[in-house]
Chain A
Amino acid sequence: MTAVPDALVVEAVAGPVLVQDDGRPGWAHLGVPRSGAADTASAGLARRLVGAPDGSALLEVVLGGLTGRLESPRGRWIAVTGAPAPLRVEGRAAPHATAVWCPAGARVSLGVPATGLRSYLALGHGLAVSPGLGSGLGAVLGSASTDTMSGLGPAPVRPGDQLPLAAGQGSPAPAAGLLPLGHDWPVPSVRRGSLRLHPGPRSSWARGASGEDALGALTAGVWEVGAASDRVGVRLHGADGAVLVPTGTQELPSEGVVLGAVQVPPSGQPVVFLADHPTTGGYPVVAVVDPADLPALAQARPGERVTFTRAPR
């Protein structure tokens, strides 16, 4: 029995390319990080554009550089969202954040985006995921997300991988009428405005250098995204050298932390937790970034500047 392939066959990978879906919420008490797409807004848009199910698996591509071929008996709608990596289908340039028809056998490539960090490539019906052993990507605790911290989920995508596509019913349709014609869909970006901050559980455990409270210091400063930032967290450095100052020498017993938590380690340089963050931590969380603003932070490149504002109560 010869199975007809229905897969995206990966030919070249430049930076990290990861399979992501909605991750593994609900298992944090066992030490399992949430994982899932770092920029959930762009991932959701890509799925809707190609008519793939909510939460279905797609590819998260850091700084472009992915080439693959659609080995399938039929074509698929595809879309790239997030960082606007130039998309080519069989060598022909295709628009960003738009459903594009990819014929069977066609080569798909994502170039390096001029802005942003993470592009999302969704294919009609989504990538195939199966629990346990099966023809799809193996699901772990209900998710095919690659968790870069715990190692759960599939290995990062490599050349030669055959990423199986979900069969689905009928021909997946692009989401007609989702966007007004000619609409320039905004890529989430920290340049569009300040990120909204909520008070964290330990807001009094750190202060600014001139004595203002932690939220005051965070909203007054200009912060630069550090080079060591990843899916675990965005490391921030004060653009003018500003740091937060821990208020005591008391040790904090380990406690649960949320997505978007702004943690202040002894260095005073805050870390904002993204999708693969640890489930518990021993450094104080002084603030929490509004979940709606995390996609912008997930798209910030090292060196980009971030400002904060207090979320309205």
Chain B
Amino acid sequence: MDAAGPVSAPGPVVPRLLPCGPGAWLVEVDGPQEAAGLATHLRTRLGAGLREVVPGATSVLVETAPGGPRGRGLGPEALGRVVDDWAPAAAGSQQAPAVVVPVTYDGEDLPVLAEAWGCTVAEVVRRHTAASFVSVFCGFAPGFAYLAGEDGSWPVSVPRLASPRPRVPAGSVALAGGWCGVYPTASPGGWRLLGRTDVVLFDAGADRPALLAPGTRVRFVDAAQERGGDGRA
């Protein structure tokens, strides 16, 4: 932990259950990593009783499966008890290996970012490859993950483009707000482009269709340096 970092909040806030129509609730939590953690907890504990468990930036949407045991769906009391059982993991406790995404840093917005941050393009790349990210939630498109810096390793906020580009190529690595994301397919997009990757973000036929499913840790590496570094073509 960074000794100069903020003092951690005194005790977790009790998550709130907000109604979302019959059989669905939104559970509010403190932040992105708590959302991913609670989503995992709920899946583990309630698996078959739930139709959807959808983490958001600071929340988890829980949709119960219709029917369920003895034709009765999961009620808010039972859900509340399982939520209460959950304790946010201490920061830095996630030890799963990170997915490594090689990036060709040639994005159109690199010079703009360098100017905004008062540094060189090389320094923008260095900062991005030095940070460790975690996938908090997916949205916008299948397999599009909103990646947040772990433990304050990405203290950056980037404004979106005022008007989105009509077409951002598949594999584009981009920034908006405090988030980093990789476009799984070509689409319109208003995020700032850092570069591109060849990794497949979404494969509907795979056992795990999304490479960066919520909770997945992610690190970016400079593809040019990788090639130079280990002699591969």
Contacts and interface: CB of A to CB of B under 8 A. Distances in A.
A45 to B, nearest CB: 18
A22 to B, nearest CB: 12
Nearest to B185: A151
Interface string B121-144: 000000000000000011111111
B210 to A, nearest CB: 4
A213 to B, nearest CB: 14
Interface string A273-295: 00000111100010011110000
B225 to A, nearest CB: 31
Interface residues of A, number: 36
Nearest to B58: A253
B140 A278 contact: yes
Interface in A37-66: none
A29 interface: yes
Nearest to A281: B139
A106 B25 CA distance: 50
Contact of A279 (B57, B58, B60, B139): B139
Contacts of B173: none
B174 interface: no
B21 A291 contact: yes
Contact of A256 (B22, B60, B146): B60
Nearest to B53: A29
A260 B21 contact: yes
Interface of A: 25-32, 132, 140-141, 150-152, 198-202, 253-258, 260-261, 278-281, 285, 288-291
Interface of B: 18-22, 24-26, 39, 51-61, 63, 137-146, 185, 202, 204-205, 209-210, 213-214
18 contacts: A25-B51, A26-B52, A29-B53, A31-B139, A31-B143, A150-B142, A198-B21, A201-B26, A202-B18, A254-B56, A256-B52, A256-B55, A257-B61, A258-B20, A280-B56, A280-B140, A281-B139, A288-B22
